[in-house]
Amino acid sequence: MPTSSLFSNATRSDRSSSRATRFGAAVAVGATIAAGAILGTGVASAAPVTCVSPPAANDIQVSDTASCGAKSTGAGVATSSASESGTAVSVADGGRSTSNATGFGTALSAVLGAGTSYSYSLGGGISQSFATNGATSVAIAGYGGGATASTVTGVNCAGLNSFALDLSTGRSCIAGL
């Protein structure tokens, strides 16, 4: 009789540990799903939008929370694209202007004359680029950063993850990397 009692205790112990393991796994899966739901509530997702001018004189696109605009005059070409609550605007009067914004970022790009301007906002930064008279400017800003590149007023970087470059003068700045 003591043998069967010992055997039945061992079997109960195996069942208890198996139940405890299953319970622990269920709690872990439930906690992971709950955490994902809580963290996911602040994430915005919108289909990417792209604006091009020409062929449209003034192209404006909105998809959920992402928006872009492109306007060109003369021989200018303006392109912009945005996704995930980003806002991108490009304006060109005789040159080429490009802007791209992701996350909650804002990218503004403008060109006057035969210049080329690039502005990129990645994941929440604010960037502005302006070029004139055949010059090129580039502004890139990441989350928490701000970058301005202008062939008229110079370059400025603030916050984290920002870069600005004016190729006509060679002036540049970088911050927070």
Co-location of 31 and 80 in the same domain: no
Given this model, what pLDDT does residue 19 score?
56
Co-location of 34 and 61 in the same domain: no
Domain that holds residue 27: 1-43
Co-location of 30 and 58 in the same domain: no
Given this model, what pLDDT does residue 132 score?
95
Given this model, what pLDDT does residue 25 score?
42
Co-location of 112 and 35 in the same domain: no
Given this model, what pLDDT does residue 160 score?
84
Co-location of 109 and 38 in the same domain: no
Co-location of 37 and 74 in the same domain: no
Co-location of 78 and 129 in the same domain: yes
CB 69 within 8 A of CB 76: no
Co-location of 58 and 38 in the same domain: no
- DSSP assignment, residue 41? T
Co-location of 79 and 165 in the same domain: yes
Q: How far apart are CA 128 and CA 119, in angstroms?
A: 6
Instruction: State the average pLDDT for the chain.
Output: 82
Given this model, what pLDDT does residue 32 score?
37
- The type of residue at 123 is G
Residues in the chain, pLDDT under 50: 1-2, 22-44
Co-location of 72 and 134 in the same domain: yes
Given this model, what pLDDT does residue 67 score?
96
The partner residues of 37 in beta bridges, in order of sequence, read none
- Preceding omega of 48 cis (within 30 degrees of 0): no
Q: How far apart are CA 79 and CA 73, in angstroms?
A: 13
Q: How far apart are CA 44 and CA 142, in angstroms?
A: 17
Co-location of 57 and 107 in the same domain: yes
Our count of domains for the chain comes to 2
- Digit-coded pLDDT (tens) for 109-143: 999 999 999 999 998 899 999 999 999 999 999 99
Co-location of 1 and 66 in the same domain: no
The DSSP bridge pattern shows strands 136-142 and 77-82 to be unpaired
Given this model, what pLDDT does residue 141 score?
96
Given this model, what pLDDT does residue 39 score?
36
